Chain A
Amino acid sequence: MIIKILGPGCTNCVNLERVTREAVADLGIAATIEKVTDYPTIAGFGVMSTPGLVVDGKVILSGRVPTAAHVRELLAPLAS
């Protein structure tokens, strides 16, 4: 699974990365987490409010920092 965190490096993006790492560790899934800070690429995903969370090329969340529990719920079905 390839997870991308979209955001120019603001506090929200750092927080999203933290909760995502937590969720991935909790679920025990193999995933690479990449940061995307480049604006054209972020906009190319159709994301207008950062931070954004992209899993295997698909945007699953944008505009807010979810809880680790929420990220777990989102990732669990995608991992299998």
Chain B
Amino acid sequence: MSIAERLRPTTATRRWAGLGAAAVVWTVLYAVNLPLWSWLVYDVVGLDPASRLGSGVHFFVYDSVKILLLLVGIIFLVTVLRSFMSVERTRALLGGRREGVGNVMAAGLGVVTPFCSCSAVPAFIGFVAAGVPVGVTLSFLIASPLVNEVAIALLFGLFGLGPTLLYVGAGLVIAIVAGYVLGRLKVERWIEPFVFETRLGGQVIDSTAGLTWDDRIQMGIEEVATILRKIWPYLLVGIGLGAAIHGWAPEDFFTRYAGAGNPFAVLIAVLIGIPLYSNAAGIMPLVEALHDNGLPMGTLLAFMMAVVALSLPELILLRRVLKPPLIATFVAVTGTGIVAVGYLFNAVLG
């Protein structure tokens, strides 16, 4: 029996009372996290806050709990809210749109539509076969992983509103512009012909139609469990590395090589990020530690975007429908956008 089945409430009152109680527990845990660990690590165990070991251990336990709480809360909320959207509805909204307006809408919908990159291929075929322009479809496929709800949550929790808005805005602009440029390049010749020959049969069923509140809450709980099961090793490694950097890396180690003084820093960060496959949750603790070490925000955001938006497994999947020249152009256009955003942020944020 799944977790959600065991937790399934029997009445509406119990459902909302359960949710309310969960929200209270969450808030209390979040509030006591810092004082509790400071007391345990520094007062009970007796480690020195000024020592490397002390600050490293404190960072590791405090950050693990904080990130875990943020992830649970935000994944749950986002999944429940997103259960009101579906890929089917998004396609209906995009059908018959011209390029330009279509790209803007597709990028926005890419952020709010529940979408797993494992569905990239059937969605691509479904969109194109329904007459959505290729460039518009690509805007959707770029925005969906690039502006990631887990990344939004963690950025907001760790860095505040400013960097979060910059990230969302930049991600949308990259998806809109890259999709538009790819559409202008007449890339239809680089798409496997079977895509255009596919005839859509059967009735389209909306994957989120007829859901009750209990279903949506259940989906939220399942999604939290699924994502945490998938990302906890990345998370631990990320926080561990973060703690190590925090406690042990020489003060100017990273700034010397990748700081504002190195004009190639953003480019190198993006080139390193493309083949790396992780998710926002694994990369964010590292980003936080590197930021504390003095790396500029633009370089770090560019690195994170390259990791989440362009990944080898997704490119291999897309190869089923896109020919190699289009895959290469896709990576080049999106990568260039990310690099540009990195330099822009470094310049703006100083």
Contacts and interface: CB of A to CB of B under 8 A. Distances in A.
A45 B123 contact: no
27 contacts: A8-B118, A10-B116, A10-B118, A12-B118, A39-B122, A40-B125, A40-B197, A40-B198, A43-B122, A43-B129, A44-B199, A45-B202, A48-B87, A49-B88, A49-B119, A49-B122, A49-B207, A50-B118, A50-B119, A57-B202, A58-B202, A59-B203, A60-B205, A63-B87, A63-B119, A63-B207, A63-B208
A64 B4 CA distance: 14
A44 B4 contact: no
Task: Across the A-B interface, give the 6 residue pairs with the lowest CB-CB distance, nearest first.
Answer: A63-B207, A48-B126, A43-B125, A10-B118, A46-B204, A46-B202
B222 to A, nearest CB: 8
A61 interface: yes
Nearest to B91: A48
B2 to A, nearest CB: 6
B308 interface: no
Interface string B133-171: 000000000000000000000000000000000000000
A25 B4 CA distance: 22
Nearest to B86: A63
- The interface size bin for chain A is 20 to 34
Contacts of A62: 205, 207
Given A67-B2, A67-B4, A44 B198 contact: yes
B115 interface: yes
B261 interface: no
B116 A49 contact: yes
Interface residues of B, number: 36
Interface string A24-57: 0000000000000001101111111110000001
A49 B87 contact: yes
A47 to B, nearest CB: 6
Contacts of B208: 63
A69 interface: yes
Contacts of A40: 125, 194, 197-198
Interface of A: 8, 10, 12, 39-40, 42-50, 57-65, 67, 69
A51 to B, nearest CB: 9
Contacts of A46: 126, 200-205
Contacts of A10: 116, 118
Nearest to B223: A64
B121 to A, nearest CB: 5
A44 B198 CA distance: 6
Contacts of A42: 122
A63 B115 CA distance: 9
A48 to B, nearest CB: 4
B205 A61 contact: yes
A48 B202 contact: no
A39 to B, nearest CB: 5
Contacts of A49: 86-88, 114-116, 119, 122-123, 207
Contacts of B127: 48
A60 B202 CA distance: 11
Nearest to A43: B125
Given A39-B321, A63-B208, 18 more contacts: A8-B317, A40-B125, A43-B126, A43-B200, A44-B201, A45-B201, A46-B202, A46-B203, A46-B205, A48-B87, A48-B122, A48-B125, A49-B122, A49-B123, A49-B207, A50-B122, A62-B205, A64-B219
A58 B204 CA distance: 10
Given A12-B116, A12-B118, A62-B207, A48 B123 contact: yes
A37 B129 CA distance: 19
A9 to B, nearest CB: 9
Nearest to A42: B122
- For A45, A60, A61, which residue has the most chain B Cβ atoms within 10 angstroms? A45
B89 to A, nearest CB: 11
